[in-house]
Structure 1
Amino acid sequence: MMQSDPLNIKFLSESTLTSVSIMTVVVVILFVSIRRFKLESPGYFQVVIEELISFIEKTVTDTIPKNPQEVLPLIGTLWIYIFLCNLIGLIPGMHSPTADLSVTSALACIVFFSVPYYGIRAEGLWAYLKAYFVPFFWFFPFHIISEITRTITLAVRLYGNMSSMEIGIGILLLLAGFLSPVAFMLLHLIEAILQAYIFGILALIYIASGMEALAKEK
C-alpha cells in the first residue's frame, strides 16, 4: 500500500512565496532607507520616494476630496505591490504573482470589502445600506450584481493581461533566443506600470463613488 509523503505537501504556492518575498524586501529597504532620509540635500532614492508619494497623494486627493488620508495607505500599497509583482516577471525563472488568478482575486476582494468599509466610516451604516435602494427599493439586486461583476472584472483583467504577457515572452524566448525579445520585455515594463495604475485607479474610483453616493443621500 502506497503512503503519501507529507514532505510533498505544498503549504504555500510559488505566487504566495514570491509575494511574501517582495513585501519583505520592500519593508526592509524602506525601513533602512527612511532612517537615513535627510531634510537637507536628499539623496536620489529619497527624491524618488517623495515624488512617488506626492503623486499618489495628489491622485487620491483629487478623486476623494473628503478625508483622502484614510484611503491613501490602501491605494498606495496596491499600486506599489501590484507594480512590483508585475515587474518580477522580467527576471528569468521568476513568474509574476499577478499572473495567478488566486492572487488577483484576493486583491479584487480587498477592494470589494474596502468599498463598504470606507463608505460606512464616512457616513454610517444606515446611510450606506440605504444607498442600495436608490432610486427604487427593487434596484437592490442590481447594485449587488454590479459590485460583484466589477470585482470579477478587476481580478480577470489583471490576471489576463499579465499571464498573456508572460506566455508571449516565454514563446519568444523559445523561438528566437534571449536577444530578440528585448523590445517585448520593454513592453512588459510598460504593461506592468499600466496595469498597476489601472487597478489602483479603479479601486480608488469605486471607493470614491460609494462615498459620494452616500454623501448625496444626506
Structure 2
Amino acid sequence: MTDGEMFAQVVFQLGPVEISNTVLTTWGILTLLVGASYWLSHHLQQEKPGRIQVLAEGVCIAIEDAIRAVAPNHVQLLFPFIATLWIFLVVANLVGLIPGLHSPTRDLSVTSSLAIIVFLSVHWYGVRDQGLKQYLWHYLSPTPFLLPFHIISEISRTIALAVRLFGNIMSLEMAALLILIVAGFLAPIPLLMLHIIEALVQAYIFGMLALIYVAGGMQTQQLRQKHHQQQKDPSRE
C-alpha cells in the first residue's frame, strides 16, 4: 500500500466518464451479492438446511429483530431496504482486508451516494405510508415558522451521515497504513481485529441511523394523527 493508493485512482475511461478503482470494487461487491442471493434462493432446503443457509437465515432474523425494535408495524416494508443496506456496508467495509483492494466507503462519493439514498428513502417511505399531503404537512407542524429548521435538519443529518462513515473508514485505512510503515508486519493480528471490529461497528451505526430516520419519517405522522384524535376525543387513550 502506498500513499497514492489511499485515494481513488482512475483505472480507465468510458468516453468522458472516468472509472475509478472505487467504482470497480463497488461493481464487484454488487455482483457478488446478487450472485450469492441468486444462489441461495435456488438452493434452499427445508428439512436439512446447510451451514450457509443457516447463517443467512440467522442474519435475516437478526435484521428483522432490529427493525421490529424500531418500527414494529413496518418490518416487512422496511426489511428489503435496510437488509440490503446493512449487508452491502458490511461487505464494503471489510473488503479493505483483501490485499490490493480498498473499502469503497473510504471514498466520499460513495458515502454521499448512500446518504442521499437514505435521504430519498425517508421521504419515499413516508409518502408511501401516509400519502403525500399528510407527509408534507408535518413540516409545517406545529407552526409553519419551523419549516426552515426542518429543512436544515434534513440536510445536516444527511451530510453528517455521509461524512461520518467516510471519515471513520478513511481514518481506519490510514491508521493501518501508518502502523504497517512504522511496525511493518510485527503486529498484523491486532491490526486485523481492529479493522474487522471497526468495519462492523460503522456498518451497524450507518444502517441503524438509516432505520431510525426512515421509521421516524413514517411514525411522525402516526403520532400527529393520534394527537389530533385525542384532542377531538379527550376520553380516548
Task: Provide TM-score, normalisation by structure 1.
Answer: 0.93
1:28 alignment counterpart: 35
Map 1:1-218 onto structure 2 (within 5 A). 11-218=18-225
1:8 is displaced (CA, Å) by 9.4
**1:63–1:208 CA contact under 8 A, matched in 2:** yes
- The gaps in structure 2 that reach 5 residues or longer are 1-12, 226-237
1:9 is displaced (CA, Å) by 6.2
**Please, what is the CA RMSD of the aligned residues?**
1.5
Post-superposition CA distance 1:149-186 (Å, at most 9, x none): 00001000000000000011111112222241320221
Whole-angstrom distance in 2 between the partners of 1:110 and 1:135: 28
2:231 alignment counterpart: none
Distance 1:118 1:165, change over 3 A: same
Distance 1:7 1:27, change over 3 A: closer
Runs of 4+, deviation exceeding 6 Å: 6-9
Distance 1:26 1:149, change over 3 A: same
Whole-angstrom distance in 2 between the partners of 1:61 and 1:100: 32
1:3 alignment counterpart: none
1:10 is displaced (CA, Å) by 5.6
1:113 is displaced (CA, Å) by 0.6
Deviation larger for 158-167 or 169-178: 169-178
**1:127–1:217 CA contact under 8 A, matched in 2:** no
**1:98–1:159 CA contact under 8 A, matched in 2:** yes
Distance 1:124 1:8, change over 3 A: closer
**1:154–1:199 CA contact under 8 A, matched in 2:** yes
- Give the 3-state SS of the residue equivalent to 1:11 in structure 2: strand
Task: Provide TM-score, normalisation by structure 2.
Answer: 0.86
